[in-house]
């Protein structure tokens, strides 16, 4: 089995990826700025410790982010790609977002630039784009907890289970570099109102649901469905099942 370094292995998508890789028998290193049991210390912001963390690694899975708006993400990715090239890493797997090149949104633009830099690095790579996670949709409504109504964006979303994304990344890391692979999305395409009703029911919210439509190219791109995957879905776990596991444990 391979020695795999996970950049961002303590994060939301990193943890299930680590679990899936270990279940498959790989030697897994979890890159983190922190020190502690099970962690490989290295800082993608400064480059400190990255060369040492990559020593002997066959595969790198990059799911790390700098937090917030993601402004640090491009520099972090470049630091990692440069170090991977110097270390002779044989395969880099990158998570990205469905529609990132079609939706004029700052964070998405950064993901496209990271993809471009990986392709330009001459490293053997695999890029997997996924739709928004269930937790992302949950966060849209949870952020409105102090509002008198519940706003439902006038667009559809195809949310996917982060555990299923982690399994897919582990599968890709276990195989050869494959370039840009087909996008993956969740099992259902749900409108903003359908998602809001499901969330309100799960959380006990009785607020009135109000449709929200915003001006501008970004919202228009979401409303046009560029955030969804045409054809068969990849995931099986629904948003409803996520809500049950999150709010009715």
SS3 at position 193: helix
- Give the number of other Cβ atoms within 10 Å of residue 78's Cβ: 17
Six token digits for residue 180: 């840009």
In the prediction, which pLDDT does 248 show? Answer: 82
pLDDT at residue number 231: 82
pLDDT in tens, 142-194: 999 999 999 999 999 999 999 999 999 999 999 999 999 999 999 999 999 99
Angle 10-15-16 (CA atoms, 0-180°, nearest 5)?
A: 170
Between CA 141 and CA 114 the distance in angstroms is 29
The confidence score (pLDDT) of residue 70 equals: 74
Q: Which of helix, strand or coil describes residue 50?
A: helix
How many other β-carbons are positioned within 10 Å of the β-carbon of residue 91?
A: 23
pLDDT value at residue 68? 63
Contact between 80 and 106 (Cβ < 8 Å): no
Contact 65, 11 (CB under 8 A): yes
Other beta carbons within 10 angstroms of residue 208's beta carbon come to 9
- Residues whose CB is less than 8 angstroms from the CB of residue 73 and which lie 6 or more positions away in sequence, other chains included: 64, 65, 66, 110, 111, 114
Segments in the chain below pLDDT 70: 68-69, 249
Question: What's the whole-model pTM score?
Answer: 0.95
Structural domain boundaries in the chain: 3-247
Distance of CA 68 to the CA centre of its chain: 14
| Res 69: pLDDT | 63
Second-level CATH architecture of 3-247? 3-Layer(aba) Sandwich (3.40)
Please report the pLDDT score of residue 155 as a whole number: 95
């Amino acid at each position: 089995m391979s020695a795999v370094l996970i950049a961002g292995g303590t994060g939301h998508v990193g943890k299930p990826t680590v679990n899936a890789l270990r279940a498959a028998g790989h030697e897994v290193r979890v890159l983190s700025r922190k020190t502690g049991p099970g962690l490989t210390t290295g800082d993608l912001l400064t480059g400190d410790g990255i060369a040492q963390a990559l020593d002997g690694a066959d595969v790198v899975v990059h799911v790390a982010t700098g937090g917030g708006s993601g402004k640090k993400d491009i520099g972090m990715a470049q630091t990692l790609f440069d170090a991977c090239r110097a270390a002779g890493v044989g395969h880099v797997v990158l998570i990205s977002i469905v529609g990132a090149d079609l939706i004029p949104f700052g964070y998405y633009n950064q993901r496209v630039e990271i993809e471009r830099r990986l392709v330009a690095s001459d490293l053997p790579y695999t890029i997997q784009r996924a739709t928004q996670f269930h937790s992302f949709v949950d966060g849209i409504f949870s952020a409105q907890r102090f509002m008198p109504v519940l706003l439902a964006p006038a667009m559809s979303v195809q949310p996917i289970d982060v555990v299923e994304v982690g399994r897919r990344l582990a599968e890709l890391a276990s195989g050869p570099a494959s370039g840009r692979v087909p996008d993956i999305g969740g099992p259902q395409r749900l409108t903003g109102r359908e998602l809001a009703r499901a969330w309100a029911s799960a959380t006990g919210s009785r607020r009135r649901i109000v449709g929200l439509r915003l001006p501008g190219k970004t919202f228009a791109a979401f409303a046009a469905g560029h955030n969804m995957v045409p054809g068969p879905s990849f995931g099986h776990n629904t948003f409803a099942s996520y809500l049950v596991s999150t709010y009715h444990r």
